[in-house]
Structure 1
Amino acid sequence: MDAAIDPTELNRLKWRCKRGLLENDLFIERFFNEQGDGLTIRHVAGLQPLMDLPDNDLLDLLLARREPDGELDTPEVNEVLALMRRPAATVLQKGKL
């Protein structure tokens, strides 16, 4: 099993993930709300290349307008992307929206 990240690293990661597009921030915020306590080093390895993308390219991936390709097409990136793309229905059921 992959090691969990410590709270200090989690806070740094959240800060690094702040984006210029509100739509991206909504996906990312939900990801951290749902997965934050269980994030592992593997998740960080998948999240960092996504955060290196320009906002519009990231949004295209989050909305499944395109799939990762080239160096971005790794198991870690695909795993994180799948978690971030999960339908908001689970959030609606929890009464958060």
Structure 2
Amino acid sequence: MTTETELNRLFWHSRRGMLELDELLVPFVREAYAGLAADDQARYEKLLSCEDQDMFGWFMRRNQPDDEDLQKIIGLVLEHSRNRRRG
């Protein structure tokens, strides 16, 4: 179970200072993170430990991480973003 304190911590770590990343990560952590399975929550936290430039390239589909866990969470974040836009 995700506590309010944990969600607040993740919210602030999701704010990267790069608009493109903020527009993907902040809504994801606010709207989807709490409903994720524990494995996917761990993947999201792992993603937050990555460099912004790496994440930017992954989310813009310029390249992809070698790590399958990161590939999965990136897919979930992008799917969430697409669903929000359809809305």
Number of corresponding residues: 87
**Cα separation, partners in 2 of 1:37 and 1:47, compared to 1, 3 Å:** closer
Q: Secondary structure at the match of 1:86?
A: helix
Flag the structure with higher helix content.
2
Question: What's the TM-score, normalizing by structure 1?
Answer: 0.71
Structure 2 unaligned segments of length 5 or more: list them: none
**Cα separation, partners in 2 of 1:13 and 1:33, compared to 1, 3 Å:** closer
Deviations 1:15-74 (A, max 9, x none): 1221021110001023124413313432232122322222111111112211111xxx14
Query: Which of the pair has more CA radius of gyration?
Result: 1
Per the alignment, residue 76 of structure 2 pairs with: 83
Moved beyond 6 Å, runs of 4+: none
Mapping of 1:46-85 within 5 angstroms? 46-69=43-66, 73-75=67-69, 77-85=70-78
CA distance in 1 between counterparts of 2:82 and 2:41 reads 25
**What percentage of residue pairs aligned between the two structures are identical?**
29
Root-mean-square deviation (Å) = 2.1
